[in-house]
Amino acid sequence: MEGNKVQNYKSCFDIIGPIMVGPSSSHTAGAIAMGALARQLFGGTPKNVRCDYYESFSETHKGHGTDFAIISGILGFTTDDERVPRAVEIAVSQGMHIEFVERKEPSPVNHANTADLTLSDEKRTIRLIGTSVGGGAVEVKYIEVDGFKMDLSGPLPVLLEVVSLGEMPVLYNLLHEHGITISKQRVEMTEDSQMMGYELADLLSPELKEQIQTLRKTHDIYMFA
């Protein structure tokens, strides 16, 4: 994937970063966010985790706490959780198999802070490639889930909806009802279903997030916001 390496922020708080266990907002808080997104895509805690690091992440992940940060997000820990530094130890004690791989080639998504996460158990495997762009903010560049593969521009929010062929998706009309601008819309198809990806130009209000969370109880929806 070609192009200049850029950073995207929606507010000053993206630069300041969250309240967190250190040492780095990009390499620790951002990594926790990436792990949390992978956990959401997987739908819980996996049995196996493989994390391929690229460029800056590959060179500095041990000293900057990226390893325990990624696993913290996968375990569902928040950035200020006192268990964050012990996350790898905790995960292994729970039976999780973890592999960290330092890749020497350039990032496949053209960003210095790139992690390629594969989560699996006996029933399911998902893959998410994300980048940490500073201040604890992250971008999702690529996902594999339920037989679908989709490239994304990166900036959040991103919504994904999987429906059977012939079934009406629900997110498109809901977003327009709330005045949300869809900056990019992508569709991937298999023999019997399709996945819509909505990359949004606007943040989601708490009310809209609540509506989407309710829809997730009956629809196959993923929300990265």
Mean pLDDT, rounded, for 43-67:
95
Q: Report residue 26's pLDDT band, with 50, 70 and 90 as the boundaries.
A: low
Does any domain span residue 7?
no
Residues 33, 118 share a domain: yes
Does any domain span residue 170?
yes
Is the pLDDT reported for residue 14 higher than 70? no
Residues 161, 137 share a domain: no
Place of tokens 């907002």: 25
Does any domain span residue 2?
no
Nearest-angstrom CA–CA distance, 65 and 77: 14
Q: Report residue 9's pLDDT band, with 50, 70 and 90 as the boundaries.
A: very low
Does any domain span residue 50?
yes
Residues 163, 112 share a domain: no
Does any domain span residue 6?
no
Residues 99, 48 share a domain: yes
Domain containing 168 equals 155-225
Residues 120, 52 share a domain: yes
Q: What is the CATH number of the domain that holds 27?
A: 3.30.1330.90
Does any domain span residue 9?
no
Q: What is the CATH number of the domain that holds 214?
A: 3.30.70.260
Residues 67, 174 share a domain: no
Phi-psi region of 74 (alpha: psi -120 to 50; beta: other; left: phi over 0): alpha
Is the pLDDT reported for residue 7 higher than 50? no
Q: Maximum CA pair distance of the chain?
A: 51
Q: What is the DSSP letter of 44?
A: S
- Over residues 178-221, the pLDDT tens digits come to 999 999 999 999 999 999 999 999 999 999 999 999 999 999 99
Is the pLDDT reported for residue 121 higher than 90? yes
**What is the DSSP track for 137-204?**
EEEEEEEEETTEEEE---PSPEEEEEEETTPPPSHHHHHHHTT--EEEEEEEE-SSEEEEEEEESSPP
- Contacting residues for 106 by C-beta, under 8 A, at least 6 apart: 54, 55
- In this prediction, residue 197 carries a pLDDT of 97
- In this prediction, residue 136 carries a pLDDT of 85
Residues 136, 62 share a domain: yes
Which of 213, 50, 63, 31 lies closest to 134, judged by CA?
Answer: 31
Q: How many domains does the chain have?
A: 2
Percent of the chain with pLDDT over 90: 81
Domain boundary among 94, 121, 145: 145
Q: Report residue 134's pLDDT band, with 50, 70 and 90 as the boundaries.
A: confident
Residues 112, 51 share a domain: yes
Does any domain span residue 29?
yes
Residues 135, 165 share a domain: no
End-to-end CA distance of the chain: 24
